[in-house]
Structure 1
Amino acid sequence: MIAIKESAASREDKASMTNRLTLLAPLALLALAACQTPGTDNPPPMVGKSTSPSPDTRAPAFVEAACGGCHAVEPPFLSPNPQSPSFAAIANRRGLSEKSLADWLAEAHNYPEDMDFTLTRAQIDQIARYIVTLRKAGYVPDE
């Protein structure tokens, strides 16, 4: 009779172990899935950082320093100053060319009064060159 009680207890222990494993297996799979790193095809956006794919397509450092206080110069293009358009919005304005943008920056833009800085012609040309890289596919200037 003792042997029967031991085997019944043994069966209960095995059943209890099976139930625990049944519950732990999905939790282990969930934990493994959470450890998976995202693919490079669609990485998550980085807060406060550029999501540009290459350093060649990023804004020059002086552009971020001079313009980034008001304009969104890189993705995700949320301007710190809602009154200031993002560089992407500027790049996709109808009729804008690299030359017309550079001329406008050199002649008509209201710095240094409002922004308290000056730009050289080389910097202006570099800003214009960078901004036009932000155009959407299929953009055609009017000129």
Structure 2
Amino acid sequence: MKKAPIIPLAAPPVLLAAFLSACQTTGPASQVSAESEPPAFVEAACGGCHAVEPPFLSPNPASPTFEAIANNPGVTDETLASWLTDAHNYPEEMDFDLEPEQIEMIAEYLVTLRRDDYEPAQ
């Protein structure tokens, strides 16, 4: 993937917190449905740092799980797509550009991970 220059800009606080906070979840991961399996692109692009599917243990402890991101209050597919559209929002570790189709794929997958009984790790 090509590297883009990092120019620090303010990201929406709820999204920046979701992506930067280290987070693991509690509760049964088995409630995530079979159709919530991540697309291959999501696993390849994001799975090196983020846990993108159950049991939601991030390979990089500083990276929140996709389940934690999806269940963060105020996060919608629209806010995710908006945030992912601008690579300048990303922390330095996420130094890559996403095409509109990839942004849509990531946002659509993330919203499938929402759970009514989600509880963040304490």
Larger Rg over CA atoms: 1
* CA RMSD in angstroms, aligned pairs only: 2.7
Which ranges of structure 1 fall in alignment gaps of 5 or more residues? 1-44, 46-50
Task: Provide the rounded CA distance (Å) in 2 between the counterparts of 1:95 and 1:131.
Answer: 13
> Displacement of 1:138 after TM fit?
6.7
Matched residues, number: 89
Give per-residue Cα distances to partners, 1:39-98, cap 9 Å, x unaligned.
xxxxxx9xxxxx9653x3210001000000000000000001111000000001011110
Number of the residue aligned with 1:133? 112
Paired position in structure 1 for 2:37: 58
Superposition map of 1:1-143 within 5 A: 53-54=33-34, 56-107=35-86, 108-110=88-90, 114-137=93-116
Task: State the AA in 1 paired with 2:63.
Answer: S
Runs of 4+ in 1 over 6 A off after TM superposition: none
Question: Relative contact order (alpha carbons < 8 A, sep ≥ 6): 1 or 2 greater?
Answer: 2
Match of residue 10 from structure 2: none
Identical-pair percentage: 57
TM-score by length of 1: 0.54
Where does structure 2 lack aligned partners over 5 or more consecutive residues?
1-28
Higher share in helix: 1
TM-score, length basis structure 2: 0.63
Q: CA deviation at 1:123?
A: 0.7
Please tell me whether the aligned partners of residues 66 and 117 of structure 1 are also in contact (alpha carbons under 8 angstroms).
no
CA change 1:53–1:93 in 2 (3 A) is closer
Q: For residue 61 of structure 2, give the secondary structure of its aligned residue in structure 1.
A: coil
